[in-house]
Structure 1
Amino acid sequence: MTSKILFENLKIYAYHGVLPEEKILGTYYILNVEISADLSKAAESDDLKDTINYAEINDILHSEMAISSQLLEHVIGRIINNIKNTFPIISFVKVKLTKTNPPMKGEIDGVSVEIEESFK
């Protein structure tokens, strides 16, 4: 059985970017995360130890977003590694990170980077 846990449009204020003002002013970022694993044991047991505690995933997302980086790719890489190391039963992770109001010409809702990785 393959199961998915989805974080949809988690909004976090953070300070990432190449420009100095991005590290001072910050902006909102939106995270979308997809995690796949075999959660059939939890479906039977109704026991938290048999699944992926999504509250812990939420803590990982917030702690990694609190570390300032120049590149969104770097932030996503840290998120994926932390999730993978915390929950070895995970077989796949996809993270999409959107910077709202990027400092660029024109009117744009945001710029996103998406990275996915399979394990095992």
Structure 2
Amino acid sequence: MGIIKVNNIKLYANHGCLDEEDKIGSEYRVDVEVKADLKRSSRTDELADTVDYVHLNNIVKEEMAIRSKLLEEVTQRILDRIFKEIKMIRRTTVSVAKINPPIGGNVEEVVIILTKKR
């Protein structure tokens, strides 16, 4: 088994329960970690034998573009798509952080972390 991480994917999106979050939007950071058997790809040097991190990044960008009230929901959508589209993945952890959330305090970020296993 091996681990592939795609860290610090920076996006601008419109998630949240407040009307202003829909209109103004906010900055987000997404981290993805996947566990898969990487033995074959380490020998063949072929993209078809591994998890394509470009594919992971595209899933994140596409799902983050769909508005959600809760970060939990968008995080779960990212997990579900990864498992649906990339069969060799055994375990995935996705972290979605809202930077400077509008919660009436000096808060750097709010982070939701979900993990799914096959």
Q: TM-score range by the shorter chain?
A: over 0.9
Structure 1 position 106, deviation (Å): 1.4
Q: What residue in structure 2 maps to residue 23 of structure 1? A: 22
Task: Give the number of aligned pairs.
Answer: 118
TM-score (structure 1 length as normaliser): 0.96
How much identity, in percent, do the aligned residues show? 37
Residue aligning to 1:80? 79
CA shift for structure 1 position 20: 0.7
Structure 1 segments (4+ residues) deviating >6 Å: none
1:116 matched residue in structure 2: 115
- What secondary structure does 2:6 align onto? strand
Distance 2:105 2:20 in 1: 18
Equivalent residue number for residue 89 of structure 1: 88
1:95, CA displacement in angstroms?
A: 0.6
- 1:49 maps to 48
State how far apart, in whole Å, the 2-side matches of 1:74 and 1:26 are.
Answer: 17
Q: Give the secondary-structure state (helix, strand or coil) at the position aligned to 2:17.
A: coil
Alpha-carbon deviation of 1:8?
1.2
Q: TM-score, normalised to structure 2's length? A: 0.97
Structure 2: which 5+ runs fail to align? none
The C-alpha deviation readout for 1:31-54, integer Å capped at 9, x for no partner, is 111100001110111111101111
1:101 Cα shift? Answer: 1.3
Match of 2:98 in 1: 99
Task: Report the counterpart of residue 58 of structure 2 in structure 1.
Answer: 59
Q: Give the corresponding residue for 2:4.
A: 5
